[in-house]
C-alpha cells in the first residue's frame, strides 16, 4: 500500500520552480488517492536491482554488479595503488594510503581542453562493502513509514582520495524537504565540480554532517518497507552505503530500448519545465522533486512508459 502524506505546505521560502513542483505533487497525490493506480507496479524486482547495479545483500556479503563501463574500476584492494581517471580515461597511481598529491604541472585534461594538476576517480576500497546498512525493519515505532514514499538525490565532489558525498537531499511525497544536508568531506576537496554538483568550497566551511550521521537521519524517516525514488538511484545508494529493495528509479521507469534518458530530458519532455540549467549547477532538491513528479506523471500517463511498467488504464 502506498502512503501519502497530506500535510499542509509552507511555501514562504520556496522558489517559483519549487512551488510549481510541490503544487504539481499535491495535485498528483489527490488524483492518485481517488483513482485505482498502483505505483507499487513501478518498484524494481530483485533481478532488475541486480542488473542495474543496486547494492545487493548476498547472504553475508554485499555485491554490486558493475556496468560494462565499470568493470575493474569500482573497487580497489588494500595494496592496489592504481586508479582510473574518469576525466581523461588514463590510469594513474596514488600513495599506499590512497592519497593523490597534486602535481606542479598539468597531468589531466577534460573534454573541453581544460588542464588540471590532479586526476579524479570514483573507485573505493573494497572494505567499504562491509559498512553497507539496511533501513530498520518495520516495528511498532516506525510502522507508519511502511509504504511511504521519499525521493532522494546525492551530489558529490572529488577529494585527494577520490569521490565523496557533498550533499544529500530527501523529500517527502509532496516534495517537502525532509533532509537537506551538506557533508564534511573526510579529505581535502580538489574539485567541487560545481557545474554538476552545485557545490562550492564555501558550502563546506561550517558543515558538520558525515556520511554516517546523514545515513542515520535517513533511517529515522524510513523503514525497510518505505519506497525510495530517484534517478540513477543505484549510484546514490552506493554512495550512501545503503541497501534498499523498495526502489523506483526514473531512469529505468522511462528506459527507451536500453537507453536511459537524463533527468533533465525527462523533466523537459514530460513535466514542461527546465532543470539543471542554472549557472550554479545542479540542485539536489530540484532533482529529487523532479524524479518524484515523474513517478506521478508515469502513473497518470502509463502509455508514456515501457510496456513492462504500463498499467492497463489511465486516469485521463
Q: Which residues pair with 209 in a beta bridge?
A: 183
Q: Which residues contact 6 (CB under 8 A, 6 or more apart)?
A: 29, 174
**What pLDDT, on a 0 to 100 scale, did the predictor assign at position 33?**
57
Q: Return the closest-CA partner of residue 4 out of 251, 175, 196, 247.
A: 175
Predicted pLDDT of residue 316: 40
Q: What is the distance between the alpha carbons of residues 64 and 295, in angstroms, rounded to a whole number?
A: 25
pLDDT at residue 307, rounded to an integer: 87
Q: From CA 77, how far away is CA 124, in angstroms rounded?
A: 9
- Look-up of cell digits 556496468: 67
Please give the pLDDT value at position 198.
87
Q: Where are the domains of the chain?
A: 16-68+131-309, 75-121
Higher pLDDT, 303 or 159: 159
C-alpha cell at 100: 593523490
Kindly report, residue by residue over 10-52, the tens digit of the pLDDT: 333 334 444 445 555 666 665 555 555 578 889 999 999 999 9
What pLDDT is stored for residue 231 in this prediction? 97
Which segments of the chain does DSSP mark as H helices, in order? 16-33, 46-51, 194-197, 211-221, 233-240, 250-253, 263-266, 284-300
Classify domain 16-68+131-309 by CATH architecture: 2-Layer Sandwich (3.30)
Cβ 65 vs Cβ 213: under 8 Å:
no
Contact between 64 and 237 (Cβ < 8 Å): no
What percentage of residues in the chain have a pLDDT greater than 70?
83
Q: Structure pTM?
A: 0.87
Strands 189-191 and 61-63: unpaired
CA pair distance 231, 262, nearest whole angstrom: 8
Whether pLDDT at 180 is above 50: yes
**Residues in CB range of 106: below 8 A, 6 or more apart:** 115, 116, 117
Q: What integer pLDDT is reported at residue 28 of this predicted model?
A: 61
Q: pLDDT tens for residues 48-105?
A: 999 999 999 988 899 999 876 665 679 999 899 999 999 999 999 999 999 999 999 9
Residue 272 CA to residue 248 CA, distance in Å, equals 21
Asked if residue 117 has pLDDT above 70, the reply is yes
pLDDT recorded at residue 8? 30
Amino acid at each position: 500500500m502506498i502512503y501519502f502524506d497530506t500535510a499542509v505546505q509552507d511555501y514562504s521560502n520556496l522558489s517559483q520552480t519549487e512551488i510549481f513542483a510541490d503544487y504539481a505533487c499535491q495535485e498528483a497525490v489527490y488524483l492518485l488517492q481517488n483513482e485505482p493506480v498502483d505505483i507499487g507496479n513501478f518498484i524494481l524486482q530483485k533481478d532488475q536491482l541486480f542488473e542495474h547495479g543496486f547494492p545487493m545483500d548476498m547472504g553475508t556479503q554485499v555485491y554490486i554488479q558493475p556496468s560494462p563501463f565499470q568493470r575493474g574500476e569500482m573497487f580497489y584492494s588494500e595494496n592496489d595503488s592504481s586508479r582510473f581517471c574518469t576525466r581523461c580515461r588514463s590510469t594513474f597511481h596514488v600513495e599506499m594510503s590512497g592519497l593523490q598529491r597534486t602535481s606542479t604541472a598539468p597531468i589531466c585534461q577534460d573534454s573541453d581542453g581544460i588542464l588540471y594538476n590532479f586526476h579524479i576517480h570514483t573507485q573505493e576500497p573494497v572494505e567499504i562493502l562491509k559498512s553497507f546498512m539496511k533501513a530498520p525493519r518495520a516495528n511498532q515505532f516506525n510502522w507508519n513509514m511502511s509504504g511511504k514514499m521519499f525521493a532522494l538525490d546525492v551530489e558529490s565532489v572529488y577529494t585527494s582520495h577520490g569521490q565523496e558525498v557533498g550533499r544529500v537531499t530527501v523529500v517527502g511525497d509532496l516534495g517537502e524537504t525532509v533532509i537537506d544536508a551538506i557533508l564534511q568531506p573526510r579529505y581535502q576537496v580538489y574539485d567541487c565540480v560545481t557545474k554538476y554538483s552545485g557545490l562550492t568550497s564555501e558550502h563546506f566551511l561550517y558543515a558538520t554532517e558525515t556520511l554516517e550521521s546523514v545515513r542515520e537521519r535517513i533511517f529515522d524517516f524510513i523503514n525497510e518497507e518505505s519506497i525510495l525514488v530517484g534517478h540513477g538511484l543505484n549510484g546514490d545508494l552506493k554512495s550512501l552505503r545503503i541497501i534498499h529493495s523498495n526502489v523506483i528509479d526514473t531512469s529505468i521507469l522511462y528506459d527507451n530500448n536500453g537507453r536511459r534518458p537524463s533527468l533533465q530530458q525527462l523533466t523537459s519532455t514530460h513535466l514542461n519545465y527546465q532543470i539543471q540549467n542554472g549557472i550554479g549547477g545542479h540542485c539536489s532538491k530540484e532533482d529529487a522533486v523532479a524524479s518524484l513528479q515523474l513517478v506521478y506523471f508515469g502513473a497518470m500517463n502509463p502509455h508514456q512508459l515501457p510496456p513492462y511498467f504500463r498499467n492497463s488504464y489511465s486516469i485521463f
